[in-house]
Amino acid sequence: MAAKAPAFWFRRGFSAIVLLPVSWFFGLLAGARRFCYRKGLFFTKRLPAPVIIVGNIAVGGSGKTPVAEWLAGHLKAAGYTPGIVSRGYGGSSSGAAALVPPDGDPARYGDEPVLLARLTGCPVVIGRDRPGAAVELLRRHPECNVLIADDGMQHYRLGRDIEIAVVDAAVLGNRWLLPAGPLREPLARLRTVDLVIAHGDMAGIPASGNVPVFPMTLAGSHFYSLRHPAVSCEADALRGQRVHAVAGIGRPERFFGMLAAMGLEVVPHAFPDHHAYTASDLAFAPGEPKLMTSKDAVKCAAFAPDDAWEFPVRARIGPGAIERILEKLNDGRQTA
């Protein structure tokens, strides 16, 4: 279960300042590690298929999974056959590379890998060893000619051809490195990626040199019954009604705000990211609609009450983003 981010990560107060020396040491180690990989001092696994990293420089949810889904769909439309590798966080897998079935158990494989397998139809392989997972994916599915690494920015052992940083300004907090703040790498890291996708407030995204920044929003239009997936209703059908919003994601308040903006009277129920739900977690307010994200729904479908509904959303990313990615891939083909 993921712990809630400490409050001092979002301000430069006493607790954060006390930890600053540790953050400086963390930054030195992170910089030295990246330098060694870039200079070939540490081994990096290069694969016969290009690898696209979808990651972040901060701890916490920024919308990487919707971006991975969006990317897989556009790559398919462009004639590619993508595969996806993931850590499988939140699952009980022993760590060995494992192919994720679309109907797999999220408790075993992790909620996000199962969701990606269902939404994209792509082969998804999880494993603590990212290069090993990628090799296993290509062994099982040699037809895949491009790999998407979900949340792989800091896993430098896996060689990469394109890096996409998904950034939510709110998740950047006080802009300090761990443990004084939420950053895994300094803000300057954004100047080295191929493109930045800004989820939400563009004004809060730091300047990234010549790296293009594309806006992203998440949008949905229908609710789907967890007990009866063929049953749906338009989002407007619940306008003005009291609903219970259930979210175990990186930023549950974003989900609550989205529903409130649709005209719903929202009663929020926040859980930790990757929360392992049980039936008792949903045993409240019988008869009143319970709305949840797809990431939560994939874990609750087996025991959800009749009044539980999923609200699936899709990433909408500014024009030019996929064109830049395809251009980079085509350039790589020509130079290979």
Closest Cα to residue 164, out of 47, 80, 66?
Answer: 66
β-strands 98-99, 124-126 pairing: antiparallel
Positive or negative torsion for Cα 15, 18, 19, 20? positive
Q: In this predicted structure, what is the pLDDT of residue 94?
A: 62
β-strands 162-167, 51-55 pairing: parallel
Digit-coded pLDDT (tens) for 90-104: 788 767 899 999 999
Please say if the pLDDT value at position 209 is more than 90.
Answer: no
The mean of the pLDDT values for the chain is 93
Question: Hey, which residues does 163 pair with through a beta bridge?
Answer: 53
Residues in the chain: 336
Q: In this predicted structure, what is the pLDDT of residue 4?
A: 74
pTM over 0.75: yes
Least confident segment among 100-109, 157-166, 173-182, 326-335? 326-335
Per-residue pLDDT, averaged over 148-165, amounts to: 95
Q: How confident is the model at residue 1 (pLDDT cuts 50, 70, 90)?
A: very low
The proportion of the chain whose per-residue pLDDT surpasses 90, expressed as a percent, equals 87
Asked if the peptide bond before residue 179 counts as cis, ω within 30 degrees of 0, the response is yes
Please say if the pLDDT value at position 207 is more than 80.
Answer: no
Closest Cα to residue 63, out of 168, 172, 181?
Answer: 168
Please say if the pLDDT value at position 3 is more than 80.
Answer: no
Query: Are the CB atoms for 243 and 267 separated by under 8 Å?
Result: yes
Record the tokens describing residue 183, joined without a space: 């950053």
Per-residue pLDDT, averaged over 217-235, amounts to: 95
Please say if the pLDDT value at position 122 is more than 60.
Answer: yes
Q: Which residues of 253-285 are buried (b: 16+ CB within 10 A; e: fewer)?
A: ebbbebbeebebebeebbbebbbbbeeebbeee
Q: Which residues of 19-30 are buried (b: 16+ CB within 10 A; e: fewer)?
A: beeebeebbeeb
